[in-house]
Amino acid sequence: MVQRKATMPNLTRNFTDAILITSPQHLTTHTHWIRNTLDLQIAHSGPEALAANDLLDLDSFLRGLLAQASQITLETLRTSRIHLAVLDICGRATRWPLKVIERAEAIGAIWESKFGSLSQIGWVVRVEGWDDVVEKRESLVLRGLNIGWARRFGDLGFKPGE
């Protein structure tokens, strides 16, 4: 079986900068990488499926996150959903390498002491581009166009070919 390397999109390996680690965008990127790429590889082929550089990147990220875990806010956790990635690592302990599990459990312990149970935190629904839609709707209403009602079911206001 050919093993594919799970690469992170343009992420640095030096996670000592607190601003970089605690930004919701950075955490969201890592959440997707852990939950959508690494977890699937480990579920399919076990902990040996991780490439050495992926394991180093993950360990480096978790060490940086552990160092800054107490500075991350509840809103950042909800927005980035990184707590769900930590729960995935801790909850499926037999699948992940031992060092990764230990670091994730230490991070989870800090957050649970600060915010309570990680499974009860929840998350923020992200609708990207929603602000643009709201602005366009408001500009149409200001111009006097009634966008709330169609003329009839499925009517777009024009005939095909017009």
Q: How would DSSP label each residue in 15-75?
A: ---HHHHH-HHHHHHHHHIIIIIIHHHHHHH-GGGS-HHHHHHHHHHHHHHHHHGGG--HH
pTM score, two decimals? 0.67
Q: What are phi and psi of 134, to 5 degrees?
A: -65, -40
Q: Which helix (H) or strand (E) holds 161?
A: none
Q: How many helices (H) and strands (E) does the chain have?
A: 8, 0
pLDDT in tens, the chain (162 residues): 444 455 554 444 444 454 567 788 899 999 999 999 998 888 888 888 888 999 999 999 999 999 999 999 998 998 889 999 999 998 865 688 889 999 999 999 999 999 988 888 877 665 555 555 555 555 655 555 555 554 555 666 666 676
- From 36, 32, 45, select the one nearest 3 (Cα to Cα): 45
